[in-house]
Amino acid sequence: MTDDRLRSARTSIGERIAELEARMPRLAPRAISQRMDAIRALAAKHGLAALEGLADYGAHHALMPGHRTATRECLAHMDEALASERGADREAILAALALRLH
């Protein structure tokens, strides 16, 4: 993938993340999960492993009790996951999220 296409994908995904952050207080858990899953699919398509893992976690936990806290914490790590260049960052970001939630 060229740098321009990856940059464009990151911009598009960043816009989706910003929209989710802005609308999250008014969204139902199912809608949050669907938006997180859409972000996950785009991240997977463009090889953004850290973001894919984080969005997958967010999509699943949006449907569980305490979903607002889990979603806010996921969103707090989205920028670093979006900027990630290494697949190994996926585990580090998910571990940091787990520490913040427990």
- Encoded amino acid at 97, one letter: L
CA distance 59 to 66: 13
For residue 76, which of 64, 63, 93, 90 has the smallest C-alpha distance? 93
CA distance 31 to 11: 22
Per-residue confidence (pLDDT) for residue 13, from 0 to 100: 93
Per-residue confidence (pLDDT) for residue 59, from 0 to 100: 94
Number of structural domains in the chain: 1
Token pair listed for 25: 């207080």
pLDDT along the chain (102 residues), means of 10: 83 94 93 96 92 92 87 87 82 75 68
Domain extent for 65: 3-101
The DSSP element (H or E) to which 38 belongs, if any, is: helix 29-45
Q: Phi and psi of 99, rounded to 5°? A: -65, -40
